[in-house]
Amino acid sequence: MHTQSTPATEQLAPSDQAIEITGLTRGFGSGERRVQAVDGVDLSVRRGEIVALLGPNGAGKTTTIDMLLGLSSPDGGTVRVLGQSPRQAVASGRLSALLQTGGLLSDLTVAETVDVIAGFHSASARVPEVMERTGLTSIAKRKVSKCSGGEQQRIKFALALLPDPDVLVLDEPTTGMDVVARRNFWQAMAEEAGAGRTIVFATHYLEEAEQFAQRTLVMNRGKIVADGATAELRSSLGGRTVTATLPAPIDQSTVGAILDELKRAGLLAGVQASDMQIDSAGVMRVRTAHSDALAAKLLALGAHDLEIVAPTLETAFTTLTQDAGE
Amino acid sequence: MLFSRTFYLTEVKRQLRNPYTLAFTLAMPIAMYLLFGANAAYADSSAGHGNVAFYVMCSMAAFGAATAMSSMCSIAASEVGQGWGRQIAMTPLSIAGYAIVKLTTALSFSALSTTAVFLVGGLTGAKADDAWRWAAVAGLILAGGLIFGLFGLGVGLAFNSDSAAALASISITFFGFFGNVFMPLEGVMLDIAHFTPMYGYVALVRWPITEGVLVSGGSDELWVVLLNVLIWTALFAALTRFGVLRSRRRR
């Protein structure tokens, strides 16, 4: 189930690589309580790629991002961003980030916050443009402490855009935003992506990865457990789920007969035991690549209340992270 | 990058609109000077090479500078340990640059506080024998204030941000009372005072006037005063080192 279909990155010249991570490891604590937060991550991202990083809490996403940005040093492995060390890339303004744990000073106004960070990047000339693009112009005079969670995320987004970076890293960028704010955020983000930036974002909103990233990485327990085109990743989990209520009476012989019929028609070929359930009410649930044929046969056999559901990235994600845990 | 003008000006602006900063580094030293210095019956009596009003003015300005240094340095350390430090780490400003800007801000406020107290002193009858004594006292206040900057830094690093600011300011007030800064101590209290952190600093600040002579009688040797300053500088440096290690572990 692990789709390691790295999109042909190895053959590319180093100048086409935005991010190159090899053998990255990082642990916390010591002795028996030592936790291996990142456990051998290899990753190449081409310039202009938009990559989503998915994973449950504690999967090692933020630890990986911290090392990618040079905020903490790895126990082992190397990180190169645009051929430089992360710190060099940050200092030259080519790498920037919206940090999940980044904080703002609550007693500054929005405009002061943006001005201070712009001063560090010698990018004061970009301030009006960036404020406009992130929708901060109308709240420029507001104290940061009076801003909503979503507005604070927009301020951080503006700070990340100030150096006009080539590589933009976003750690859970839409935390604290409502549905409308999230849609607006990704709209602004799409414009930035159009400008040819490389974007890596961590998220726990799966639909954000589905809608926005061409490539999705799934992390679990410090490892990358899947890496591929987002659409491929979704379909790689094998077909759709067919649900139907079998005709009465629901007893061993009737159900057994139906199953025999399906097997004879070759409709259960390749279906694992874990992909098929039948409950006591006679509701059958099968995950299969041949959903249409199976559905037709079930209806012919008298089943009713038929449903066919395509897998979402959510199911893919659950499957992947559970598999890796076993 | 080691200095950012925008950052410095914004930091100054932040402090100017912070009521705590204004109350403790400007209003309080001036008010205490007016109360115990300018308006005291003995204001014009001699305290060595200047009058008592001048002596009290030096003490209060020194206290104002120490307060400014310790509170601003403790806040600087707390902020860098929180998310804002990570935000700044994503810019070309180095940690040394951050420290330089914050220290410059704290020194600017010490200078502002000292200037304000001296200005009020000059207008209300604080007198010294020579003009250079004013300059010498001001120089000692600003230079010695760095010790309390180190103290603030250590507290800010070693404790979490909520308790650090309160701890730094409460400690400074205690240091002031037990360091013979506000009212002249006598007897056992004076003996104990010799060992407290602000005693050496304020005695050194007053040296151009008193040359070690104490208001309550007797006098201090210069080496006693300097030794106090040296030992407390070393202790605060050790606190800062402990704070650095502790904040690293917390991360």
Each domain of chain B, given as residue ranges in start order, spans 5-250
Residues of A in contact with B84 (CB under 8 A): 102-105
Question: Could you tell me if residue A200 is inside a domain?
Answer: yes
Find the Cα–Cα–Cα–Cα dihedral B168, B172, B174, B176, rounded to 10°.
Answer: 180
Residues A192 and A260 occupy one common structural domain: no
Q: A235, A255, A279 — which closes off a domain?
A: A235
Residues of A with CB under 8 A from a CB of B: 69, 71-72, 90-93, 96-97, 99, 101-105, 107-108, 112, 115-121, 124, 156, 159-160, 163
pLDDT digits (tens, 9 = 90+) for B206-217: 999 999 888 888
Q: What is the pLDDT of residues B119-143, one digit of tens each?
A: 999 999 899 999 999 999 999 999 9
Is A222 part of a structural domain of the chain?
yes
CATH of the domain at A177: 3.40.50.300
- Per the structure block, which two tokens stand in for B244? 């650095």
A112 within some domain? no
| Nearest Cβ partner for A103 among B17, B83, B93 | B83
* Residue B42: predicted pLDDT: 86
* Contacts of B203 by beta carbon, 8 Å cutoff, 6+ apart: B180, B210, B212, B220, B225, B228
**Would you say residue B148 has pLDDT above 50?**
yes
Q: What is the pLDDT of residue B250?
A: 59
Beta strands in chain A (DSSP E): 17-28, 35-46, 50-54, 76-81, 95-98, 167-171, 198-203, 215-220, 223-229, 240-245, 276-278, 283-288, 304-309
Last residue of a domain, one of A235, A253, A269: A235
Q: Are residues A198 and A76 in the same domain?
A: yes
- B240 contacts: CB under 8 Å, gap ≥ 6: B150, B153, B154, B157
Are the beta carbons of A103 and B86 separated by less than 8 Å?
A: yes
For the stretch A7-13, contacts whose Cβ atoms lie closer than 8 Å and that sit 24 or more positions apart, written own/partner, are A7/A46, A7/A215, A7/A228, A7/A229, A9/A44, A9/A45, A9/A46, A10/A44, A12/A46
Q: Do A229 and A255 share a domain, yes or no? A: no
Mean pLDDT of B59-84: 90
Residue of A68, A95, A99, A116 best to disrupt the B interface, most CBs of B under 10 A: A116
Nearest CB partner across the interface for A93, out of B18, B87, B92: B92
What residues of chain A lie within 8 A of the CB of B13, using their CB? 112
Among residues B56, B234, B62, which one has the least CA distance to residue B143? B62
Distance separating alpha carbons of residues B190 and B188, to the nearest angstrom:
5
Divide the 326 residues of chain A into consecutive groups of 10 and give the mean pLDDT of each group: 46 72 91 87 93 88 93 92 94 92 87 96 94 93 92 93 95 86 86 86 83 89 89 71 86 86 83 81 84 88 87 70 56
Averaged pLDDT, B175-189: 90
**What's the CA gap between A175 and A320, in Å, rounded?**
24
pLDDT at B147 over 70: yes
A102 close to A156: Cβ distance less than 8 angstroms? yes
Say if the Cβ atoms of A120 and B88 lie within 8 Å. yes
Other Cβ atoms within 10 Å of A164 Cβ, number: 15
Instruction: Answer with the one of A215, A235, A255 that is the final residue of a domain.
Output: A235
B10-22: average pLDDT: 91
- The pLDDT of residue B251: 54
Q: Which residue reads 């050790």 in tokens?
A: B238
Give B-chain residues touching A171 at CB under 8 angstroms.
none
The answer as to whether A38 is a domain residue is: yes
Q: What is the CATH number of the domain that holds A251?
A: 3.30.70.100
List of chain B residues whose C-beta atoms are within 8 Å of the C-beta of residue A105: 14, 79, 84
Same-domain check for residues A228 and A247: no
| CA A307 from centre of chain | 28
Q: A54 and A189: one domain? A: yes
Q: Is residue A186 part of a domain?
A: yes
Secondary structure class of A226 (helix, strand, coil): strand
Determine the pLDDT at residue A209: 84
In the prediction, which pLDDT does A84 show? 93
Residue A142 lies in a domain: no
Q: Is there a contact between B10 and A112 if contact means CB atoms under 8 Å apart?
A: yes
What pLDDT score was predicted for residue A55?
85
Q: Do A105 and B84 touch (CB under 8 A)?
A: yes
Residues of B near A (Cβ–Cβ under 8 Å) read 1, 4-7, 10, 13-14, 17-18, 79, 82-84, 86-93, 251
What's residue A308's pLDDT?
A: 87
Cβ distance B91 to A121 less than 8 Å, yes or no, reads yes
pLDDT-derived band at B67 (thresholds 50, 70, 90) equals very high
Angle of helix A291-300 versus helix A252-264 axis, rounded to 10: 130
Is A257 domain-assigned? yes
**What domain range includes position A278?**
240-310
Encode pLDDT of B96-116 as tens digits.
Answer: 889 899 999 999 999 999 999
A201 and A306 housed in the same domain: no
Residue B231 in this model has a pLDDT that exceeds 90: yes
Give, in order, the Cα–Cα distances in Å from A298 to each of A239, A241, A247, A249, A270. 17, 13, 9, 15, 18
Residue A126, CA atoms < 13 Å, CB-side half-sphere: 20
Query: Does any domain span residue A135?
Result: no
Identify the DSSP state of A138: G
Residue A285's pLDDT is 87
* pLDDT bracket for residue B249 (50, 70, 90): low
Residue pair B200/B229 in contact by the 8 Å Cβ criterion: yes
Min Cα distance A105 → chain B (Å) is 7
d(CA B209, CA B37): 15
Total domains, chain A: 2
| Residue A214 sits in the same domain as residue A245 | no
Q: What is the ipTM of this complex?
A: 0.85
- Which chain B residue shows the shortest CA-CA distance from A119? B6
pLDDT at A8: 45
